[in-house]
Structure 1
Amino acid sequence: MKPLKESLKERILIADGAMGTLLYSYGVDRCFEELNLSHPEEVYKVHRDYIEAGADIIQTNTYGANYEKLSRYGLEDSVKEINTAAVRLAKKASGGSAYVVGTIGGIRAIKQNVSLEEIKRSFREQLYCLLLEGVDGILLETYYDFEELTTVLKIAKRETDLPIIAQVSLHETGVLQNGMKVKEALHQLEFSGADVVGINCRMGPYHMVASLEEVPLPKSSFLSVYPNASLPNYEEGRFYYSAEPGYFGDISNELRSQGARIIGGCCGTTPDHIRAVAAKLKSRVPITEKKVKLTKSVEIVSRPISEKLLHHKVNEKKTVIVELDPPKHLDTDLFFQGAQALKEEGIDALTLADNPLASPRVSNEAIGTMVKEKYDISPLVHITCRDRNLIGLQSHLMGLHTLGIHNILAITGDPAKIGDFPGAASVYDLSSLELIELIKQNNEGISFSGKSLRQKTQFSVGAAFNPNFRHMDASVKRLEKKIKAGADYFISQPVFGVEEMFQIYEATRHLNTPVFIGIMPLLSSRNAEFLHHEVPGIKVPEATRLRMREAGKDPIHSRAAGMEIAKELLDTALTLFNGIYLITPFVRYDMSIELLRHMKEKAGIEKEVPYGRHII
């Protein structure tokens, strides 16, 4: 056969279809790449079926055969073995009758928080394995994260002269996850040296055609397209694709008219789909001219908001936020009495937890709307990754923006199993870092899928800070990652020791991002011991617990001791931090009010403090 690049210059090539979903349809539901070792005959059969159906190009069964993905199955030490076997199986099946391209799939498929350094290391290892076995080209497929794709493309270009096919994946027609138009993305990939640029996965043929209508013919590379068979259906615990092979074959002519030089299939496609393409593609002669569809750009506006965002406030003056948990029942009278009383003391925001300790409470979105509209209090709404999938998180953020709630705290959330509903499942589609990134993307007017929101959200994004780790350095490094993700300020877990507060100050003084230091009055010795021993992320120093034990069991004496400790902590905090975070225990808002009044007496909180986070 001619080299792959030469064949692409002359005619349209038909590629194979899905490997994983085909094996899944056979009842093989496991790490598909490992089958290269344990069930090579199954993988070989899939390759042969595609070649007999008319495929000119087949891809190795190595989409997820990298260190990061194989480690989920305990197979991270088998990267070389799995990739080597995959190429040999594909070449054996081809027998020189079809081109074999080594497939490397994207790692950040759902915007996972994997560093570029980890991606580079994993990519190089897999790439070398494929190149050593003599593939005809490299296929980079299913890359939702454009930064990841451009990074690995540069590595591949340095390591080989073989043709490289670089394909992005889209959540929405014509636009990438980061909001970039697909035509711009493919142009950049072409400029970076990809021999073939294209799109694959997520969308069926109809939306693939629509996406390519805006894409001009590349000047120095070729176009590829690997649609899914259709949108997936779900029945009796299994996913399946319903598109008819005949329809897939018919639409291949529309893909040709959009300039596709390689036409293959992704999820849900089978040898029957590829056979239909081979039978119904009227001409293998590629087009040389194309009329590009022009689309109107959607204006993204930024609406003015009346309130000053929290991170701006805390950079300008002493700022106090108070947490008052929404009730676990429907009697909200005491909560709103507390909210009104706290407003009269001049708090800057009322923070509303999102089902803390995985126990259901009245929706903080509903409570936040009420305190904003009825009591004129700025709500700071917490959002956990535990309770909502990606769809729910995006919808929730749009709802908060529409309600005029702009101060939010992005947190991971306590696992569902520790709460009142132990049978409930934790979602965790995103980590707190990824949620911060999503919120910041919304602030640019772009949804997670890359589609325009038509307005820019204006969220002030807080992040949690747990200073109670055994090693403070590790906790601070976590803060630095959150700053990189876009955190505007931090809210700490409660601190119960003066010495610990000074340690936090020293460890974070190099950061320019404001910190609201958490202070929570203790109610009793039993309360202190419970917090220390049973609540995740909280540590109460022995000296503090001793003072609470010495106060005895009398509730009045215990309360007095708890308030004395809290005031000492508050006095220290006011000399070190601009942000104060008071946590009200069990809706005992009278204790928060007492601390607020103490602050005014001791620190003159009503006077503004010039710029700067730490005040000494």
Structure 2
Amino acid sequence: MSFLEKLKNQILIADGAMGTLLYSYGTDCCFEELNLSQAEQITNIHRAYIDAGADVIQTNTYAANYLKLKRYGLEDFVKEINSAAVKNAKKAAQNRAYILGTIGGNRGIKPNTIPIEEIKRSFREQLYCLLLEGVDGILLETYYDLQELETVLQIARKETDLPIIAQVSLQEVGIMQDRTPITEAFNRLEGLGADVIGLNCRLGPHHMLVTLEEVPLPKSAYLSAYPNASLPAYTDGKFHYEGDADYFRKSARSFREQGVRLLGGCCGTTPEHIRAFAAELHDTPPVTEKAVKQKPKKIIIQPAEAIREYPPLQDIVKERKSIIVELDPPKKLDTTKFFQGAKALKETGIDAITLADNSLASPRISNSALGYLTKTQIGMRSIIHITCRDRNIIGLQSHLMGLHTLGLHDILAVTGDPARVGDFPGASSVYDVSSFELIQMIKQLNEGLSISGKELGQKAAFSVAAAFNPNVRSLEKAVNRLEKKMKFGADYFISQPIFSEEKLVEVYEATKHIKAPIYIGIMPLISSKNAEFLHHEVPGIKITDAIRDRMAKFKDNPHQAILEGLDIAKSLIDAALDLFNGIYLITPFLRYELTVELAEYARSQSANLVRRNNHVQSIIH
């Protein structure tokens, strides 16, 4: 009798984990390679699950594709590993169990890291290897990204008439990480030809059952569930799972009541967990009707705390000339000079102070702490820089939620200099997300949703700036990055400092089609050494030979060098104001008196431009 014919009238018990079981034995390598080097061990694990009561086993091929094997230098052994895996499973089964060829998902919490075309190529190669060895069906498991699963399901359905089991993994109960409700995801998978649709990994029995309570019985497919044993614990440098088999036995009938017909285990499960499922559901018929629990509709309320105190900067800079100033948080605990600078800059009438996030990978006082004090004690708007370098996804979301709570709604999302360039070169650079994904993450919070799709109960009100580096060999590529960042949700841009009027014109011509406004970075040089260091050693900054020559003339006259640096900056401000509405002044070494002078100059020149334009308009009319 075929696999699907059996499922019509019977609950089938599937096997449990392979990788975490091997890990618990002390094996910590490429588990799929063991199909070749430790074939007997893999066969014995399959046999143990069958002896425990499994009607269905899966091949040890979850990560046996080109993309994942490449991490171990095994990308040329896709065929050998998959072929051996099926042979090992068949040797154990001896026609006592159905064999599913397993293909795991590649994309996780960062779906855009692997192009879909690469996934297609890798999937086809593995699929053909499994089909050639004669499996009884294909198991697509642990897919967090619905687009990936839909893509590979369509490929598999076109290539074979064998049963296909399509299983998703959830970060949150009842919803995919792209915010697709699980019922909609299942409907789409069934519509694309999946014979069995279900859940595996990440969730234990409790949360998997809570999710399934909202899922109706499919019209033409069957439901499956492969829960984890528990949440993983971490002790003495090793992960382990503590869920016991008796807990699984008690949950077995609940899975049946939710309409599950293929029931197995995922991470942390052992033959004992599967024995518990099999013993409890032996000769128990599946349900053909179920009452679906209606999920209460949640209303996200926009509370008073999330209302912005200032109009978005992108709106301000579209309507008039706008000046913002970067004032770096200090590296030491004394904040006296910082707040003196913030106060002096506020008096010039600028629109905001921006605070870098440990620039050049050197630790400074928390910019969110200083931003909040600047807002509450001085009444100055703060733009908080956030890098991808220092926080993982958990920390980034927590940080953003904290900024929302503090009423700091203006963000500059940047990748961040790698840790090795800073004061602690041995520190780790995290980079869980890129600046693109960070922008997207912030905008998702504006919809009241976490990065995993979970509702947060309130909508944030963030305005998101993105960095723009025009000091590159290909300005066209830099502009393409701007366009990509806009697609991810960037509201406006802040540029690296520009030290050439010719470059300003070049940037204007290259970006005049961009609808999002741009603040042009201008930084006063304070010495010839400063100019040379910035040009040669700081990523993203280039200074023309002419400017460096001007500063070199006063290398032995510090006071005159500063005046020359201010004069250069003022010329750049004049040129920038003719082309752009936004000026971004960067304060060197907390020398706020320099940016105070430049801010006053820029304000004065802006006023002159307005008067001149008004005069011209009056003559025309």
Q: In structure 2, what residue type is equivalent to 1:41?
A: E
Task: Identify the residue that residue 268 of structure 2 maps to in structure 1.
Answer: 268
> 1-side partners of 2:401 and 2:247: how far apart?
37
Question: The residue matched to 2:112 in structure 1 has which SS?
Answer: coil
Question: The residue matched to 2:70 in structure 1 has which SS?
Answer: helix
Task: Report deviation, 1:606.
Answer: 8.3
Task: Report deviation, 1:298.
Answer: 1.5
Gaps of 5+ in 2: 614-621
Where do residues 481-492 of structure 1 align in structure 2 (5 Å cutoff)?
481-492=484-495
Say whether 1:104 aligns with 2:103.
yes
Task: Report deviation, 1:442.
Answer: 1.1
Task: Report deviation, 1:354.
Answer: 0.8
The verdict on how the C-alpha distance between 1:7 and 1:351 changes in structure 2, with shifts beyond 3 A counting, is same
Gaps of 5+ in 1: 611-616
Task: Report deviation, 1:472.
Answer: 2.8
The verdict on how the C-alpha distance between 1:563 and 1:122 changes in structure 2, with shifts beyond 3 A counting, is farther
Where do residues 410-449 of structure 1 align in structure 2 (5 Å cutoff)?
410-449=413-452
Where do residues 479-558 of structure 1 align in structure 2 (5 Å cutoff)?
479-558=482-561
Question: The residue matched to 1:135 in structure 2 has which SS?
Answer: coil
Q: In structure 2, what residue type is equivalent to 1:78?
A: F
Give a deviation string over 1:259-300, Cα, whole Å, max 9, x none. 111101111011221122112225441101111222312111
8 Å contact 2:11–2:281 — kept in the other structure? Answer: no
8 Å contact 2:386–2:411 — kept in the other structure? Answer: yes
8 Å contact 1:178–1:446 — kept in the other structure? Answer: no
8 Å contact 1:79–1:126 — kept in the other structure? Answer: yes
Give a deviation string over 1:466-513, Cα, whole Å, max 9, x none. 223333333333333322222222222222222333333333333323
8 Å contact 2:111–2:145 — kept in the other structure? Answer: no
Give a deviation string over 1:400-457, Cα, whole Å, max 9, x none. 1111111101122222232223343222222222212211211111112221111111
Task: Report deviation, 1:548.
Answer: 1.5
Task: Identify the residue that residue 365 of structure 2 maps to in structure 1.
Answer: 362
Instruction: Give the stretch that moved more between structures: 108-117 or 242-251.
Output: 108-117
Identity of aligned residues (%): 62
> 2-side partners of 1:60 and 1:579: how far apart?
59
Task: Identify the residue that residue 342 of structure 1 maps to in structure 2.
Answer: 345
Where do residues 1-400 of structure 1 align in structure 2 (5 Å cutoff)?
2-114=1-113, 115-303=115-303, 304-400=307-403
Q: In structure 2, what residue type is equivalent to 1:234?
A: Y
8 Å contact 1:316–1:609 — kept in the other structure? Answer: no
> 2-side partners of 1:436 and 1:160: how far apart?
40
Instruction: Give the stretch that moved more between structures: 472-481 or 214-223.
Output: 472-481
8 Å contact 1:113–1:433 — kept in the other structure? Answer: no
Say whether 1:460 aligns with 2:459.
no
> 2-side partners of 1:312 and 1:437: how far apart?
20
> 1-side partners of 2:509 and 2:200: how far apart?
50
The verdict on how the C-alpha distance between 1:310 and 1:74 changes in structure 2, with shifts beyond 3 A counting, is farther
Task: Report deviation, 1:234.
Answer: 0.8
8 Å contact 1:316–1:608 — kept in the other structure? Answer: no
> 2-side partners of 1:608 and 1:252: how far apart?
78
The verdict on how the C-alpha distance between 1:257 and 1:415 changes in structure 2, with shifts beyond 3 A counting, is same
8 Å contact 2:383–2:412 — kept in the other structure? Answer: yes
Task: Report deviation, 1:56.
Answer: 1.6
Give a deviation string over 1:327-362, Cα, whole Å, max 9, x none. 112221211111112112221221111111121111
> 1-side partners of 2:383 and 2:186: how far apart?
41
The verdict on how the C-alpha distance between 1:362 and 1:48 changes in structure 2, with shifts beyond 3 A counting, is same
> 2-side partners of 1:463 and 1:93: how far apart?
56
> 2-side partners of 1:162 and 1:176: how far apart?
27
Give a deviation string over 1:148-185, Cα, whole Å, max 9, x none. 22232223223322222111211222222233332232
> 1-side partners of 2:205 and 2:172: how far apart?
13
Q: In structure 1, what residue type is equivalent to 2:189?
A: L
Task: Identify the residue that residue 614 of structure 1 maps to in structure 2.
Answer: none
> 1-side partners of 2:354 and 2:608: how far apart?
19
> 1-side partners of 2:523 and 2:81: how far apart?
54
8 Å contact 1:317–1:609 — kept in the other structure? Answer: no
The verdict on how the C-alpha distance between 1:320 and 1:162 changes in structure 2, with shifts beyond 3 A counting, is farther
> 1-side partners of 2:71 and 2:455: how far apart?
34
The verdict on how the C-alpha distance between 1:401 and 1:266 changes in structure 2, with shifts beyond 3 A counting, is same
Q: TM-score, normalised by structure 1?
A: 0.94
Task: Report deviation, 1:242.
Answer: 0.7
Task: Report deviation, 1:112.
Answer: 4.1
Question: The residue matched to 2:318 in structure 1 has which SS?
Answer: helix
Instruction: Give the stretch that moved more between structures: 100-109 or 32-41.
Output: 32-41
> What's the Cα RMSD here?
2.2
Aligned length: 609
> 1-side partners of 2:439 and 2:86: how far apart?
40
The verdict on how the C-alpha distance between 1:522 and 1:13 changes in structure 2, with shifts beyond 3 A counting, is same
The verdict on how the C-alpha distance between 1:71 and 1:309 changes in structure 2, with shifts beyond 3 A counting, is farther
8 Å contact 2:229–2:243 — kept in the other structure? Answer: yes
The verdict on how the C-alpha distance between 1:133 and 1:566 changes in structure 2, with shifts beyond 3 A counting, is farther
Correspondent of 1:574 among 568, 573, 577: 577
Q: In structure 2, what residue type is equivalent to 1:602?
A: Q
Question: The residue matched to 1:170 in structure 2 has which SS?
Answer: coil
8 Å contact 1:350–1:380 — kept in the other structure? Answer: yes
Task: Report deviation, 1:601.
Answer: 3.4
> 2-side partners of 1:545 and 1:33: how far apart?
58
8 Å contact 1:36–1:61 — kept in the other structure? Answer: yes
8 Å contact 1:179–1:450 — kept in the other structure? Answer: yes
Q: TM-score, normalised by structure 2?
A: 0.93
The verdict on how the C-alpha distance between 1:553 and 1:90 changes in structure 2, with shifts beyond 3 A counting, is farther
The verdict on how the C-alpha distance between 1:371 and 1:192 changes in structure 2, with shifts beyond 3 A counting, is same
Q: In structure 2, what residue type is equivalent to 1:579?
A: G
> 1-side partners of 2:83 and 2:592: how far apart?
65
> 1-side partners of 2:87 and 2:479: how far apart?
47
Question: The residue matched to 2:404 in structure 1 has which SS?
Answer: helix
> 2-side partners of 1:248 and 1:482: how far apart?
46
8 Å contact 1:519–1:569 — kept in the other structure? Answer: yes
Task: Report deviation, 1:605.
Answer: 7.5
> 1-side partners of 2:571 and 2:98: how far apart?
74
Question: The residue matched to 1:42 in structure 2 has which SS?
Answer: helix
Q: In structure 1, what residue type is equivalent to 2:72?
A: Y
The verdict on how the C-alpha distance between 1:178 and 1:301 changes in structure 2, with shifts beyond 3 A counting, is farther
Task: Report deviation, 1:258.
Answer: 0.8
